Amino acid sequence: MKKYFVLCLVSICPSLLSFAQYAQIQPTNWWVGMKWNKVQLLIKGDKEGFNKEKVSVSYPGLSIAKVNVLDNSKYISLDILIAPTAKPGIVNFQFNSADKINTIKWELKARRKGKGAAFAQGVTSSDFIYMLMPDRFSNGDETNDKVPGMRDQSLNRDSIYARHGGDFQGIINHLDYIQSLGATTLWMTPVLENDMPNRTEHGYAFTNHYKIEPRFGGADMYKRLSDSLHKRGMKLIQDAVYNHVGSFNFTFIDPPTKDWYHQWPSYTQTSFKDQPLFDPHGARNEAILTTDGWFTKEMPDLNQYNPYVANYLIQHALWSVEEFGIDGWRIDTYIYNDLPFMNRCNKALTDEYPHMTMFGETWVNGVINQSYFVENNLNVPFKSNLQAPVDFQLLFNGIQPVMTEKFGWNEGVTKLYTTLAQDLLYKDPTRNVIFLDNHDMTRFFSYVKEDVDKQKMGLEWLLTCRGIPQLYYGTEILMKGESNPDGWVRLDFAGGWKGDKKNAFTSENLTPQEKDVQDLVKRLGNYRKQSTALKSGKLMQYVPKDGVYVYFRYDAKQTIMCVMNTSEKEQTVRMANYTERTNGFTKGTDVINGNSLTNTFTVQAKKMLILELGK
């Protein structure tokens, strides 16, 4: 195992080959002028007893505050202080053993230009997120489809689990398309190295926090993608995973401390239960099972109670934002993390980048459950500082019942109304990220049994409701797939590979229905882009009647009336029934087709109207 790990280390850090068999250091660099100027370095040598070497440094404005002793003698943990007077440059750390002196070069960089403007801008309700999986979107560079030395050498588009070859260059090639939908922000599934033997297409099993996945193009191409987005006035969200890593991560193969990961007498999986974390009647051991149990056997659970682990993860988050110009942070498996640690990490990001925004995957059942994990108005002992959730409640208990249940007192669209009525629990529900589907669940088009009218209604709701809309790649062209197994909801985007007969980027060979839905997203997405009411206006909703649900988005400049007819028959709507919002208006313009409607109009069954009101 020892010999094998040394070979693995070389493949993980090609940029460190000059001393890879002696030592590697993380973070791989830092910056002058950061508020986080007390940096904890994790340094791994190639032999037992490495921690007995004497470390010294001579660099103006940088000093060693403390050398920490870890369980594993191959590691040194070094606390360094970077003074405000420090200048960018190369720092030489010297390691003195009995017979020789070794030097590791480590860089202090100047801060990224455009601080506070060109990056770390945050993602708000004015934005529209396009989410994609890099491996499945577009292959722009076939030379990186396979990387020698990496464990997963698969490349087979006929397999739902093998790699398909998508990369950053493919995304850059099609930013025009993403922007044409009205999208302002790109969120990709994780882009860090996943040097696992298989199932590497999803990206959630990190093997090196400080290396960008080379099969996507590596760090340079990631920076190019970030810069390309920012030049267009667009934003970049990074998918963060604090809870676990891949089992081939070097810190799992050879842990720095005995408790770097949560250890159990035998393999113990999380219960996936969120209730024990806030249940006033709950048992402590069940709460521990939720947070400390492993996600899967291949994804060891990081011990965030360990201060070295906590610093390692927090510093990586800061490093990523500064190194790559990240604007927002989506946090995977949020509820399974140590929540006090997450508060520390979130605060570290906003202390350094005041406009930075974070939203977490809170896959739970119930608005109270979900609100517990974010900034809320609950009177509870633990108060989260997470700004927003991925709003599973508006999906499961909102728009999905609209599509599958007949209208009733507590059924159908009433559930959507009721779920939104519980927004009083959130500190700021406009930050919630709303969606129809994602990489883990059945695609919305399959969920609605391939009913195009329902797909359109779902999209129209998505782009007019409160919150930040997120569109999963392909939803706009009626991509389908059941989530059992999940590979079927992660298929290739049409036109992303040479030889594809269907090309969604150019609309070549799309069916009339696919083109119609794609055009709907483009029209409404771009309308939303210039609509103050939809981007940042208030929401007022009315109790649904006879399957008709009416809500308004409005501000001082604009009023949008949204009418969702979920019934099986045509319905007549009178603006006079909603005078609190319609008073003074005499007509409405359909934002999709431009038709003008008077104060009394009809809505067809299973259709939705979006009207900009006028006088």
Cβ count near 233 (within 10 Å): 9
Contact 312, 406 (CB under 8 A): no
Give the pTM: 0.95
Give me the pLDDT at residue 191, please: 98
190-193 LR contacts (CB < 8 Å, sep 24+) = 190/238, 190/239, 190/240, 190/241, 190/332, 191/134, 191/216, 191/222, 191/238, 191/239, 193/12
The catalytic residue among 332, 391, 437, 476 is: 332
Contacts of 256 (CB under 8 A, 6+ apart): 42, 44, 70, 71, 72, 75, 77, 308
Give me the pLDDT at residue 6, please: 31
Q: Which residue has the tokens 């505050």?
A: 65
Give Cα 297 distance to the centre of its chain. 23
**CA distance to 81, 358, 373, 421, per residue, from 314 (Å):** 16, 14, 19, 36
Q: Determine the residue type at 209.
A: H
CB burial readout 38-59, b (16+ within 10 A) else e = ebbbbbbbbeeebbebebeeeb
Alpha-carbon distance 187 to 239, whole Å?
A: 7
**CA distance to 243, 313, 550, per residue, from 295 (Å):** 8, 18, 41
Q: Determine the residue type at 286.
A: E
Structure tokens at 469: 């809309």
Alpha-carbon distance 256 to 69, whole Å?
A: 10
Local structure of 471: helix, strand or coil: strand
Cβ count near 242 (within 10 Å): 24
Mean pLDDT, the chain, integer = 95
List the end-to-end C-alpha distance of the chain, in Å, as a whole number: 76
411 catalytic? Reply is no
Q: Determine the residue type at 177.
A: Y
Give me the pLDDT at residue 100, please: 87
Alpha-carbon distance 296 to 453, whole Å?
A: 38
Among candidates 439, 423, 539, 432, which has minimal Cα distance to 493? 439
Alpha-carbon distance 315 to 601, whole Å?
A: 57
Alpha-carbon distance 172 to 159, whole Å?
A: 25
**CA distance to 407, 433, 450, 476, 478, per residue, from 513 (Å):** 27, 27, 11, 10, 8
Burial of 520 (0-12, 13-18, 19+ CB in 10 A): middle
Among candidates 601, 535, 536, 615, which has minimal Cα distance to 570? 601
* Cis amide linkage into residue 190, ω under 30° from 0: no
Q: Determine the residue type at 500.
A: D
- Positive or negative, the CA dihedral 438, 157, 445, 529 is positive
Give Cα 45 distance to the centre of its chain. 34
CA atoms in the 13 A half-sphere facing the CB of 307? 7
- In degrees, rounded to 5, the angle at the alpha carbon of residue 302 between the alpha carbons of residues 300 and 306 is 145
**Element of type H or E holding 79:** strand 75-82
Alpha-carbon distance 205 to 202, whole Å?
A: 8
HEC profile for 177-195? HHHHCCCCEEEECCCEECC
Give me the pLDDT at residue 3, please: 32
Domains along the chain?
A: 2-109 (2.60.40.10), 129-530 (3.20.20.80), 538-614 (2.60.40.1180)
Alpha-carbon distance 296 to 334, whole Å?
A: 15
Q: Where are the alpha helices (DSSP H) in 452-495?
A: 452-462
Give me the pLDDT at residue 22, please: 74
Among candidates 360, 417, 414, 418, which has minimal Cα distance to 392? 360
Give me the pLDDT at residue 453, please: 98
Give me the pLDDT at residue 46, please: 86
- The torsion angles phi and psi of 329, rounded to 5 degrees, stand at -135, 115
Give Cα 584 distance to the centre of its chain. 42
Contacts of 182 (CB under 8 A, 6+ apart): 128, 463, 521, 522, 524, 525, 526, 527, 528, 529
Question: Sheet harboring 54-57: ordered strands across?
Answer: 29-31, 101-109, 89-96, 54-57
Predicted confidence (pLDDT) per residue in 313-354, tens digit: 999 999 999 999 999 999 999 999 999 999 999 999 999 999
| DSSP character at residue 300 | P
351 catalytic? Reply is no
Give me the pLDDT at residue 11, please: 35
The catalytic residue among 361, 375, 423, 476 is: 361
Predicted confidence (pLDDT) per residue in 90-118, tens digit: 999 999 987 789 999 999 999 998 644 58
Give me the pLDDT at residue 18, please: 36
Q: Which residue has the tokens 């459950």?
A: 369
Among candidates 122, 335, 358, 330, which has minimal Cα distance to 239? 330
Alpha-carbon distance 109 to 112, whole Å?
A: 9
Contact 124, 468 (CB under 8 A): yes
Predicted confidence (pLDDT) per residue in 123-138, tens digit: 999 999 999 999 999 9
- Which stretches of the chain score pLDDT less than 50? 1-20, 115-116
